[in-house]
């Protein structure tokens, strides 16, 4: 397109999404911030002003309707969830589609299917409703005498003592702050962060392109190791080779989407080895630790998680080198977004705790 942006058909999607994002952030003068890789024609700017005016006509109930239609894919069920009649819901959907001068959902015998532009509007609606709900909850807590809330996501396998110490320090400073800690894998946390379900994450990038969406500040590294239960037939064997273990024993591994599993698979590839034949994929640290204690499986996990189990002789390390050093874990936050004050304070506590552990 010779470096310029065309505005026919689906090429409007990037402009519409940009308008959505700026309206969500409350901007009225600078409605759209375009990627530096694109140039915009005068006609493009006129189209953006046009779409900005359309966005301003959206109401909370419109967003709820779009989100519910995506969830139910049925106009009658969406109308019921909004406590309105189906004819009224039909009129509302027609009004929204008229506003955007295009079809947002295709009517099929199996229900409603979003069009490409409908998918963009659904993403905007879900994000906007999530932010509104969280704002309403925080406002209610402030009026009730509480002091806000903070939702943190963390890969608990990465320095669990670091996260626990930071949470304890935060609550000591602000006992009335509602702090919610969610332990997930990096790929899950990235998704939660992208959809505004959490304020920040202690994790690592799960894919190569995520640096375009999030800022990252390293906090530390972790070492991976393979362990078995204390009474395992392999316990105490100092002359082990990785290849026969892959064939002969069951393994407990993290899901394929996680950086730890990807590192393991890459290491096997570099050594010309195939993945274990017998695998239980487990994203829960607690469940994985229970499984390895009750079976003959080999568990691969970070040393920081296993430390206490090794110290109390519950688990035994195997003398094999496997996926030892992961990429650093650290603070992940959304780009071009200012953290609220509790989140900034929590980040500072984490930085200080990480420095003490180096």
Q: 271 pLDDT band (50/70/90 cuts)?
A: confident
Measured between alpha carbons, how far is 323 from 35 in angstroms, rounded to an integer?
Answer: 37
Q: Interhelix angle for 13-24 vs 116-143, to 10°?
A: 10
Longest dimension (CA), the chain: 74
Asked if domains 146-221+328-357 and 224-317 share a fold, the reply is: yes
Which residues partner with 154 through β-bridges? Answer: 183, 202
Fold of the domain spanning 60-128 = Arc Repressor Mutant, subunit A (1.10.10)
> According to the model, what pLDDT value does residue 259 have?
81
Fold of the domain spanning 224-317 = D-Maltodextrin-Binding Protein; domain 2 (3.40.190)
pTM greater than 0.75 (yes/no): no
Inter-residue contact 220 to 328 (CB < 8 Å): yes
Q: What region does 118 belong to: left with phi over 0, alpha with psi -120 to 50, or beta?
A: alpha
Where do runs of H (alpha helix) occur along the chain?
13-24, 42-55, 60-72, 75-81, 86-100, 116-143, 160-173, 186-194, 242-248, 259-270, 285-293, 303-311, 341-357
The better pLDDT of the pair 171, 137 is held by 171
Q: Measured at the alpha carbon of residue 182, what is the angle toward residues 177 and 185, in degrees to the nearest 5?
A: 155
Residue 275, φ and ψ in degrees, nearest 5: -65, 155
pLDDT in tens, 96-119: 888 878 888 988 888 888 999 888
Q: What is the mean pLDDT of residues 181-203?
A: 91
Closest by Cα among 40, 113, 132, 126 to 74: 113
The burial class, CB within 10 Å (0-12 / 13-18 / 19+), for 145 is exposed
Q: What is the three-class DSSP state of 151?
A: strand
Measured between alpha carbons, how far is 216 from 206 in angstroms, rounded to an integer?
Answer: 12
**Range in 21-35, 59-73, 115-129, 314-328 the model is least confident about:** 21-35
> According to the model, what pLDDT value does residue 203 have?
92
Indicate if the pLDDT at residue 140 is higher than 50. Answer: yes
> According to the model, what pLDDT value does residue 178 have?
87
- Average pLDDT for the chain: 81
Q: What is the mean pLDDT of residues 169-194?
A: 90
Give whole-number Cα distances, 64 to 69, 70, 72, 129, in Å.
Answer: 8, 10, 12, 7
Q: 323 pLDDT band (50/70/90 cuts)?
A: low
Inter-residue contact 197 to 328 (CB < 8 Å): no
Measured between alpha carbons, how far is 146 from 153 in angstroms, rounded to an integer?
Answer: 22
Select the highest-mean-pLDDT range: 14-23, 237-246, 308-317.
308-317
> According to the model, what pLDDT value does residue 233 have?
94
> According to the model, what pLDDT value does residue 52 have?
62
Counting residues of the chain whose pLDDT is more than 70, the rounded percentage is: 80
Q: 50 pLDDT band (50/70/90 cuts)?
A: low
Domain spans of the chain, in order of start: 9-55, 60-128, 146-221+328-357, 224-317
List, as one string, the DSSP characters of 286-314.
HHHHHHHHTSS-EEEEEHHHHHHHHHTTS
Fold of the domain spanning 146-221+328-357 = D-Maltodextrin-Binding Protein; domain 2 (3.40.190)
Indicate if the pLDDT at residue 297 is higher than 60. Answer: yes
Indicate if the pLDDT at residue 169 is higher than 90. Answer: yes
Inter-residue contact 170 to 344 (CB < 8 Å): no
Give whole-number Cα distances, 354 to 79, 99, 196, 303, in Å.
Answer: 51, 51, 25, 17
Q: What is the mean pLDDT of residues 151-155?
A: 93
Inter-residue contact 132 to 125 (CB < 8 Å): no
Q: Cα dihedral angle (272, 278, 281, 284), rounded to 10 degrees? A: -120
């Amino acid at each position: 397109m010779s470096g310029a942006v065309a505005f026919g058909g689906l090429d409007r999607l990037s402009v519409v999404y940009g308008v959505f994002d700026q309206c969500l952030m409350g901007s009225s003068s600078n409605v759209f911030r375009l990627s530096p890789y694109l140039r915009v024609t005068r006609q493009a700017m006129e189209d953006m002003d046009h779409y900005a005016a359309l966005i301003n006509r959206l109401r909370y109930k419109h967003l709820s309707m779009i989100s519910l239609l995506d969830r139910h894919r049925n106009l009658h069920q969406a109308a019921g969830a909004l406590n309105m009649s189906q004819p009224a819901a039909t009129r509302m959907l027609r009004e929204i589609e008229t506003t955007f001068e295009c079809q947002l959902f295709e009517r099929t015998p199996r229900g409603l299917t979003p069009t490409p532009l409908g998918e963009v509007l659904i993403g905007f609606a879900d994000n906007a409703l999530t932010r509104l709900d969280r704002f309403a909850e925080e406002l209610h807590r402030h009026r009730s005498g509480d002091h806000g809330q903070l939702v943190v996501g963390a890969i608990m396998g990465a320095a669990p003592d670091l996260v626990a110490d930071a949470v304890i320090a935060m609550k000591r400073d602000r006992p009335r702050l509602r702090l919610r800690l969610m332990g997930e894998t990096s790929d899950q946390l990235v998704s939660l962060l992208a959809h505004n379900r959490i304020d920040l994450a202690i994790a690592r990038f799960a894919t190569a392109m995520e640096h375009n969406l999030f800022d990252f500040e390293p906090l530390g590294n972790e070492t991976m190791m393979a362990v078995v239960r204390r009474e395992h037939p392999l316990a105490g064997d100092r002359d082990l080779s990785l290849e026969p273990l892959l064939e002969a024993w069951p393994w407990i591994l993290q899901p394929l989407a996680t950086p730890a599993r990807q590192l393991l698979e890459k290491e096997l590839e570099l050594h010309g080895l195939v993945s274990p034949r017998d695998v239980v994929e487990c994203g829960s640290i607690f469940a994985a630790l229970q499984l390895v204690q009750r079976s003959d499986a080999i568990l691969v996990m970070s040393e920081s998680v296993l430390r206490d189990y090794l110290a109390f002789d519950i688990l035994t390390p195997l003398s094999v080198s496997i996926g030892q050093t992961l990429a650093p874990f650290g603070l992940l936050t959304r780009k071009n977004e200012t953290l609220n004050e509790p989140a900034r304070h929590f980040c500072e506590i984490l930085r200080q705790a990480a420095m003490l552990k180096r």
